[in-house]
Structure 1
Amino acid sequence: MKIDVIEEAPMSRFHRKLLVACSGGPLLDGYLLSIVGVALIGMTHDLHLSTSTAALVGVSAMIGMFFGGLVIGWLTDLVGRRVMYTIDLTVLLVGSVASAFAANAWQVIVLRFLIGFAIGADYPIATSLLTEWCPRRERGRALGITIVAWYFGAMAAYAVGYLITLAAPAGAWRWMLASSAVVSLFVLALRHGTPESPRWLVENGRVDEARELIRSVLGADVSREQLLASRTTVIRSGSLSALFRGLYLRRVLFVSVFYTCQVIPMWAMYIFGPQLLGAFGFNENTVGNLGSALVSLLFMLGCIPAMRMLDTVGRRPMITWSFGLMTIPLLVLGLWSNAPVEIVLGCFSLYAFFAGAPGILEWLYPNGSPHPSGPPRSAWPSHSAGSEPPGGPTSCRCH
Structure 2
Amino acid sequence: MDILSRMERIPLGRFHYRLLAFTGFGWMFDAMDTGIIAFVLPTLAKAWGLSSAQMGYIGSAGLIGMALGAVLAGTAADRIGRRNLFAATLVLYSIATGLCGLAWNFESLLAFRFLVGFGLGGQLPVAVTLMTEYSPPDKRGRFIVLLESFWGLGWLAAALVAYLVIPHYGWQAAFLIGSLPALYVFQVWRGVPESVRYLVDKGRVQEAHHLVCQLEQAAGLAVVEEAVLPPKQEQTRAAFSDIWGRAFIRRTLMLWLLWFGIVYSYYGIFTWLPSLLVGQGYTVLKSFEAVLWMTLAQLPGYFAAAYLVDKIGRKLTLSGFLTGCALCAYFFGQGGSETMLLVWGSLMSFFNLGAWGVVYTYTPELYPTRIRALGSGWAAAVGRIGGILAPTVVGYMIAGQGGFEKIFAMFTAVMLGVALIVLLLGEETKGRTLSEINKG
Cα distance in 2 for partners of 1:164, 1:361 equals 33
Residue aligned with 2:98, SS: helix
State the Cα distance separating 1:120 from its structure 2 match: 1.0
After superposition, give the CA deviation of every residue in 1:152-175 in whole Å (9 maximum; x if it has no partner).
11011011111002332xxx1111
State the Cα distance separating 1:231 from its structure 2 match: 4.5
Instruction: Check if 1:183 corresponds to 2:181.
Output: yes
Query: Structure 1 length normalisation: TM-score?
Result: 0.86
The one-letter amino acid paired with 1:263 is V
Aligned mate of 2:337, from 336, 340, 343: 340
Change (3 A) 1:116 1:151: same
Identity over aligned pairs, percent: 23
Change (3 A) 1:318 1:167: same
Residue aligned with 2:11, SS: coil
State the Cα distance separating 1:349 from its structure 2 match: 1.4
Cα distance in 2 for partners of 1:282, 1:27 equals 28
Q: Which runs of no fewer than 5 residues in structure 1 stay unpaired?
A: 371-377
* Paired position in structure 1 for 2:158: 157
Q: Which has the higher contact order (CA 8 A, sep 6+)?
A: 2
Q: Which runs of no fewer than 5 residues in structure 2 stay unpaired?
A: 368-421
Residue aligned with 2:310, SS: helix
Alignment of 1:1-399 (within 5 A): 3-168=4-169, 172-186=170-184, 188-219=186-217, 221-222=223-224, 226=228, 228-232=229-233, 237=237, 239-284=239-284, 286-334=285-333, 336-337=334-335, 339-368=336-365, 381=425, 383=427, 391-392=435-436
Query: Structure 2 length normalisation: TM-score?
Result: 0.79
* Paired position in structure 2 for 1:374: none
Change (3 A) 1:214 1:342: same
Cα distance in 2 for partners of 1:308, 1:258 equals 21
How many residues align? The count is: 381
State the Cα distance separating 1:241 from its structure 2 match: 2.2
* Matched-pair contact (CA < 8 Å) for 2:278–2:287: yes
Structure 1 range deviating more: 324-333 or 138-147: 324-333
State the Cα distance separating 1:63 from its structure 2 match: 1.4
State the Cα distance separating 1:223 from its structure 2 match: 5.7
* Matched-pair contact (CA < 8 Å) for 2:301–2:351: yes
State the Cα distance separating 1:273 from its structure 2 match: 1.5
Q: CA RMSD for the aligned pairs?
A: 2.9
* Matched-pair contact (CA < 8 Å) for 1:28–1:187: no
State the Cα distance separating 1:27 from its structure 2 match: 0.5
After superposition, give the CA deviation of every residue in 1:314-349 in whole Å (9 maximum; x if it has no partner).
222222322222222222244x35x22222222211
Cα distance in 2 for partners of 1:248, 1:189 equals 36
* Matched-pair contact (CA < 8 Å) for 2:251–2:366: no
State the Cα distance separating 1:203 from its structure 2 match: 0.8
The one-letter amino acid paired with 2:313 is G
After superposition, give the CA deviation of every residue in 1:257-278 in whole Å (9 maximum; x if it has no partner).
2223322222223211110111
* Paired position in structure 1 for 2:412: none
* Paired position in structure 1 for 2:391: none
State the Cα distance separating 1:114 from its structure 2 match: 1.0
Cα distance in 1 for partners of 2:103, 2:430 equals 53
Structure 1 range deviating more: 4-13 or 118-127: 4-13
Structure 1 range deviating more: 214-223 or 105-114: 214-223
State the Cα distance separating 1:389 from its structure 2 match: 9.1
Cα distance in 1 for partners of 2:75, 2:326 equals 35
Cα distance in 2 for partners of 1:70, 1:231 equals 28
* Matched-pair contact (CA < 8 Å) for 2:19–2:131: yes
The one-letter amino acid paired with 1:295 is M
* Matched-pair contact (CA < 8 Å) for 2:319–2:423: no
Change (3 A) 1:112 1:17: same
Residue aligned with 2:12, SS: coil
